[in-house]
Amino acid sequence: MIIEIDNIWKKFGRFDALEGLSLTVPEGSAFALIGANGAGKSTTIKILMNLIEASRGVAKVLGVDSRDLSRQQFAQIGYVSENQELPPRLTVGDYLAYLRPLYPSWDHSLEKSLLKQLELPLGRKIGHLSHGMRIKMALACALAYRPKLLVLDEPFSGLDPLVRKEFMESLMHQAGETTILISSHELGELENTATDVAFITKGKVTFQESMDMLKSRVRKVFVTLSRPATPPENPPGEWLDIRASGNVVSFVDTQYTEGGTNAQIMATIAGVHNIAAEPVALVSIFTTIAAATRRGSKQT
Ligand code: ATP
């Protein structure tokens, strides 16, 4: 595991931002951290990058307690955050020249192709770049040394859709050799690129699993009845967002299997005429589970 977090807590004054959060990120994965505003994603990432210390528990990065990461180990980690600080008075070219000798694995030809692909003007002062250009610059600086681990904290905020697409393409060029941990609210961007996903709610990981597993176990189910539909009286806890309209009862099943779900439907709903199930987009998985969690349901 390239990242192993075991039961970390973080207190800010009396407030617990993290409440026993555990997470493991496998090597080679593109791992998405998702969760509502204030759930604790940035706090977790800052602990991993040793920018802040956990109040309790251990977060290991590259096999080492993040508080003990050496300069050599940091040279294998790329970190890009929304509020990336870059020296405003240096030009793009000057800053790259400054960084190159700091990273033994700096790849010159990759640097050139990133500059071209991301259309970064070498001679312009960093302080004169737009927000999106600065984020692209930070990404180019982090990718050019082919880090073993790339940590991205909400890299898309404020980026236009074309830049987002270019950004993801640059990332995907390096997928596989680099493990990526990315926190973002842009679930559409993550849907086709992330291999694994963790949901963070109120300072804890509600669940983590592969994107394929998540997408196969969460399905929208439509049950057509031979009579006007009413919501079932005692539905299983894993059915969320239950609706009845016309002759159809629909719900999101968070533990879908064809046989299991069909049997539950037959045991719960009378007069079933037809059952259909379809995949659910990541954004709907998130909103459905987040709404259910807010209401206190434990079935995620
Ligand atoms: P978002 O999606 O909005 O960026 P997030 O999941 O990244 O949210 P965090 O930034 O980790 O959330 O914040 C988690 C909680 O900790 C929030 O309630 C936030 O107000 C609180 N918090 C974060 N940093 C501090 C701090 N320095 N002092 C006090 N509270 C803090």
47, pLDDT greater than 90: yes
- Average of per-residue pLDDT across 275-299: 85
Of all protein residues, whose CA lies closest to atom 17 belonging to ligand 1?
Answer: 38
Q: Give dist(CA 269, CA 278) in Å, integer.
A: 19
Q: What is the pLDDT of residues 212-255, one digit of tens each?
A: 999 999 999 999 999 999 999 999 999 999 999 999 999 999 99
Give me the helices (H) in 82-210, please.
Answer: 92-99, 108-117, 131-143, 161-174, 187-191
The CA 42 to ligand 1 mean position distance, Å, reads 7
Do 190 and 35 form a contact (C-beta atoms < 8 A)? no
For atom 10 of ligand 1, the residue with the nearest CA is: 42
Q: Which CATH class is domain 3-211?
A: alpha beta
Nearest atom in ligand 1 to the alpha carbon of residue 35 is 6
Is residue 165 very low, low, confident or very high in pLDDT (cuts 50, 70, 90)? confident
Instruction: Give the residue, out of 11, 23, 33, 41, with the most ligand 1 atoms within 8 A of its beta carbon, to mutate for a pocket test.
Output: 41
Instruction: Tell whether ligand 1 has an atom less than 6 A from the beta carbon of residue 190.
Output: no
Could you report the per-residue pLDDT of 112-163, keeping only the tens digit for each? 988 988 889 999 999 999 988 898 899 899 999 999 999 999 988 778 888 7
| Boundaries of every domain in the chain | 3-211, 219-279
CA angle at 81 for the pair 135 and 158, rounded to the nearest 5°: 50
How far is the C-alpha of 1 from the C-alpha of 296, rounded, in Å?
A: 32
Taking the centre of ligand 1 as the mean of its atom positions, its distance from the CA of residue 48, in whole angstroms, is 15
Atom of ligand 1 nearest to the CA of 153: 7
Question: Which pTM was predicted?
Answer: 0.91
SS3 content of the chain, % helix, strand, coil (to 5): 35, 30, 35
Contact 40 CB / ligand 1 (< 6 Å): yes
Torsion of CA 170, 176, 178, 183, to 10 degrees: 70
